[in-house]
């Protein structure tokens, strides 16, 4: 595949689309319709719809990948895996059949979804409590000065959020609020500003074809000549 097809065309498309989306955010360019919306608004909506259509196509790609991988597990009888793969494919078929023939908004489909996925999802989510506890146990240990500070601050915030401690030691409320409102918020904002600037620079790299996460690593030849 030539560099033009593989890199230049995608980069040009990304740059043009990015400019249109940014123009729509910052500018109201004439002609403007009765609702006060610029022509860029309808263009951006169209682009978003294209994105949704492409996503739907890629779901098919995902389904093929699932069937390929798990059929292989079943045919090879991979120990500790094949029965789960079989169960997965059975469930996919059941959901697909009911969804196609009865509709994804039918009572049968809704029942199936609520009785299986919804319940399982809530179970996995609630297991997070146990993982957080074991993580906290490992975190709150005096090993170094930093971990010592972390432990003390962690215990203060923990005690502040426990009603019994907060009632008997009201000072914990002030300390806890200082940690969460002043220290944590200011650190989070610093991370946010850095992150936003990082996203801008990544955007520029993507729009100029320099980002490796978008089109892969550049060859020496492309580095010298530029991708665009």
Partner 1 sequence: MAILVTGRIFALLMLIIIWIVILYAMEQAKKKLPPFRKLTGLDALPEMVGRAAEMNRPVHFTTGLGSLTESVAPQLVAGLAVLAHVAELCANYGVKIIYSVYQAQVMPLATELMKSAYVKAGKPEEFIAEESVRYLSGAQFAYASAVQGIAERERPAANIMIGPFYAESMLFAETFNRIGSIQLAGTARGYQIPFFAVICDYLLIGEEIYAAGAYLSKDPQQAGTIRGQDYGKALALILMILGVLMTAVGSSFIVDLLGM
Q: Which of 35, 54, 145, 164 binds partner 1 (CB under 8 A)?
A: 54
* Residue 198 host element (H or E): helix 185-207
**For residue 10, which of 211, 221, 167 has the smallest C-alpha distance?**
211
The separation between CA 34 and the C-alpha centre of its own chain, rounded to angstroms, equals: 37
Angle at 92 between CA 87 and CA 97, to 5 degrees: 125
CA distance 168 to 19: 58
User: Does residue 148 bind partner 1 (CB under 8 A)?
Assistant: no
What size, in residues, is the chain? 228
CA distance 25 to 34: 18
Least gap, CB of 170 to partner 1 (angstroms): 26
Least gap, CB of 172 to partner 1 (angstroms): 20
Nearer to partner 1, 105 or 212 (CB): 212
Stretch that binds partner 1, among 24-32, 103-111, 160-168, 173-181 (CB under 8 A): 24-32
Q: Which of the residues 174 through 213 are near partner 1 (CB under 8 A)?
A: 188, 191-195, 197-206, 208, 210-213
Structure tokens at 106: 């039918």
User: Does residue 216 bind partner 1 (CB under 8 A)?
Assistant: yes
User: Does residue 96 bind partner 1 (CB under 8 A)?
Assistant: no
CA distance 214 to 218: 11
Residues that bind partner 1 (CB under 8 A): 22, 25-30, 32, 36, 48, 51, 54-55, 58-63, 65-66, 68-69, 72, 80-81, 84, 117, 120-121, 124-125, 127-128, 131-132, 134-136, 138-139, 188, 191-195, 197-206, 208, 210-214, 216-218, 223
């Amino acid at each position: 595949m030539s560099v033009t097809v593989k890199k230049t065309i995608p980069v040009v498309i990304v740059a043009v689309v990015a400019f249109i989306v940014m123009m729509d955010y910052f500018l109201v360019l004439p002609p403007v319709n009765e609702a006060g919306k610029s022509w860029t608004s309808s263009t951006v909506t169209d682009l978003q719809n294209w994105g949704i259509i492409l996503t739907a196509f890629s779901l098919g790609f995902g389904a093929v990948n699932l069937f390929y991988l798990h059929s292989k597990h079943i045919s090879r009888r991979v120990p500790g895996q094949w029965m789960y793969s079989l169960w997965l494919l059975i469930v996919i078929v059941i959901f697909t059949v009911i969804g196609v023939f009865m509709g994804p908004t039918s009572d049968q489909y809704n029942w199936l979804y609520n009785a299986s996925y919804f319940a399982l999802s809530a179970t996995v989510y609630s297991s997070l409590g146990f993982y957080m506890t074991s993580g906290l146990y490992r975190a709150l240990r005096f090993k170094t000065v930093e971990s010592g500070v972390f432990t003390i601050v962690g215990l203060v915030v923990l005690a502040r959020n426990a009603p019994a401690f907060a009632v008997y030691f009201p000072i914990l409320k002030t300390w806890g609020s200082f940690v969460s409102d002043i220290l944590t918020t200011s650190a989070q904002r610093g991370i946010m500003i850095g992150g936003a600037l990082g996203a801008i620079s990544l955007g520029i790299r993507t729009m100029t074809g320099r980002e490796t996460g978008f089109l892969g690593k550049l060859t020496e030849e492309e580095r010298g000549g530029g991708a665009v």
